[in-house]
Copies of this chain bind each other. A is one copy, B any other.
Amino acid sequence: MEKGYFPSDRPALTVDIVLFRLSDDQLETLLICRGKPPFKGKWAIPGGFVHADESLHAAAKRELREETGLKDVYLEQLYTFGDPKRDPRGRVVTVAYFAVATTAETAEPEAGDDAIKAAWYPLNKLPDVAFDHKDIIKYAHQRLRYKLEYTSVGFRLLPAEFTLAELQTAYQIVLGEELDKRNFRRRILEAGIIEETGKYRSGQVGPRAQLYRYRDDAVVEAKARRLFP
């Protein structure tokens, strides 16, 4: 492979993934208990070294599958963290990804390699985490909130069929603020990004709620409000 082109003291390269899901009233992220030093026994976000012949996206996908059993979740590159001191072992640069899954997909924890101890933590009750993973999680949370406002990534938090109340609750949890029911419903219906399934769901009490599904043919990206239009 090499022909004297490359420096020999190259950094090691990892991918790390911040995986989000929605609990009843909180946004949660998956943490893995580290089985090896450094930070043995501490919590960390899932991740690992990039193999020689795989793309970064593929590496993130593979690590996620190995450590959680999940496939086909939403996955997007976040930022690359390369502080020389971020890993006590030496120089390790990590390409961070953020991922979004539904609560149903993530119902049975640690579906990945059996030896792996994993747990979901609400974002405002994180334990001490290894490396600079706290920064990474914070950054990912900010990005999720941001993308929720102008893309349709929010639907990845919900199952395929959902009620408008559930959708609104999901938005409220991530954005951290109350939304007006009538305005919310009007906007989202007018945007044309969801459609009726024709089915209904009954709760404990009260009338039945119409079920909707996300229209993945809808290309939706809100334009940013310009500073100077």
Residues of A at under 8 Å CB distance from B? 1-3, 5-7, 9-13, 49-57, 77, 79-80, 82-84, 89-93, 95, 146, 149-152, 171, 179, 183-184, 187-188, 191, 220, 222-229
A84's partner among B55, B89, B171, B228 (CB-CB below 8 A) is B55
Residue pair B10, A228 in contact (C-beta under 8 Å): no
A-B contact pairs, 22 of them (CB 8 A): A3-B89, A5-B90, A6-B49, A7-B52, A10-B12, A10-B50, A10-B52, A13-B93, A50-B93, A52-B91, A53-B84, A54-B84, A56-B93, A57-B82, A77-B79, A146-B224, A149-B224, A150-B224, A171-B228, A179-B228, A187-B228, A188-B227
A13's partner among B11, B79, B225 (CB-CB below 8 A) is B11
Q: How far is the CA of A187 from the CA of B225 in the complex (A)?
A: 12
Shortest A42–chain B CB gap in Å is 16
Task: Kindly list chain B residues whose C-beta atoms are within 8 Å of the C-beta of A77.
Answer: 79-80
Residue pair A187, B227 in contact (C-beta under 8 Å): yes
Q: Closest residue to A93 on the B side, CB-wise?
A: B13
A52's partner among B11, B13, B151, B188 (CB-CB below 8 A) is B11
Task: Kindly list chain B residues whose C-beta atoms are within 8 Å of the C-beta of A93.
Answer: 13, 50, 56, 95
Number of copies: 2
Residue pair B184, A228 in contact (C-beta under 8 Å): yes
Residue pair B228, A191 in contact (C-beta under 8 Å): yes
Q: How far is the CA of A78 from the CA of B7 in the complex (A)?
A: 24
Residue pair B149, A50 in contact (C-beta under 8 Å): no
Residue pair A49, B223 in contact (C-beta under 8 Å): no
Q: Closest residue to A10 on the B side, CB-wise?
A: B12
A55's partner among B1, B83, B228 (CB-CB below 8 A) is B83
Q: Closest residue to A6 on the B side, CB-wise?
A: B12
In the complex, given contacts A77-B80, A150-B224, A223-B225, what are 12 additional A-B residue pairs having Cβ atoms less than 8 angstroms apart? Answer: A5-B89, A6-B90, A7-B12, A7-B49, A9-B51, A53-B91, A56-B80, A56-B82, A77-B79, A150-B227, A179-B228, A224-B225
